[in-house]
Chains A and B, each alone.
Chain A
Amino acid sequence: DIQLTQSPSSLSASVGDRVTITCQASQDITNYLHWYQQKPGQAPKLLIYDASNVKTGVPLRFSGSGSGTIFTFTISSLQPEDVATYYCQQYDDLPLTFGPGTKVEIK
């Protein structure tokens, strides 16, 4: 199985800060990596697909990059409504796997 690790596991930042989360895959997954946001008590929502494509309607402060085994998710200017847990997910191979999540809080 392809393992995904995320760092950090949690972070606290101020409104307006730039926030970066890293997702590392245990093997090359090309660009088959997606990012989801899950707010407390809600279902996950897709933000980024295929590593760097922002889903239509998602605020432009969210972005993704990377390929191979290292991927980055960035919030350019953290907003209060961005408090959530963020997950990466790969579909290069079955079973589909998710990272353990990164909890983002406001300082």
Chain B
Amino acid sequence: EGQLLESGGGFVQPGGSQRLSCVVSGLMFSSSAMSWVRQAPGRGLEWVATISGGGDVTYYADSVKGRFTISRDFSKGTVDLQMNSLRAEDSAIYYCAKNQVTTGPDWFDPWGHGTLVTVSS
């Protein structure tokens, strides 16, 4: 099934930036789209962004469009999420997850363990 391992979380001030990275192992990295999903403390799940298997098409939730950028590095086997202009409401556990098709998001399986981002002054 493969493993996904996120890193890069931490504390950041409002208006600041943070870059999350997800290392993908044991999977056909370029065969499927990859996504980020977040979960605010004690809250439900929110889809954030998806990148196609080829890395040429991206999709974003309206809440992050223009502020977040998803990318993938085929040489490193990673999927990154660059987060700019962070707001308190971006505070959440960010999960990396694999999709099943190459073109875009469908369902998420498997998921990484998540990395916590806290936006606070």
Contact = CB atoms under 8 A, between A and B. Distances in A.
Contacts of B62: 95
A94 B100 CA distance: 16
Given A97-B47, A101-B44, A43 B107 contact: no
Report the contact-size class of chain A (Cβ under 8 Å from the partner): 20 to 34
Interface class of chain B by DSSP:
loop
Contact of A96 (B44, B47, B110, B111): B47
A98 B112 contact: no
Nearest to A97: B47
Contacts of B107: 34, 46, 49-50, 89, 91
Contacts, number: 54
B108 A44 contact: yes
Contacts of A94: 59, 105
A45 B47 CA distance: 15
Q: State which size class the interface on B falls in.
A: 20 to 34
Centre residue among A43, A55, A87, A89 by max chain B CB count within 10 A? A43
A50 B107 CA distance: 9
A53 B102 CA distance: 20
Nearest to B100: A49
B27 interface: no
B45 A87 contact: yes
B95 A44 contact: yes
Interface of A: 32, 34, 36, 38, 42-46, 49-50, 55, 87, 89, 91, 94-101
Interface of B: 37, 44-47, 50, 59, 61-62, 95, 100, 105-114
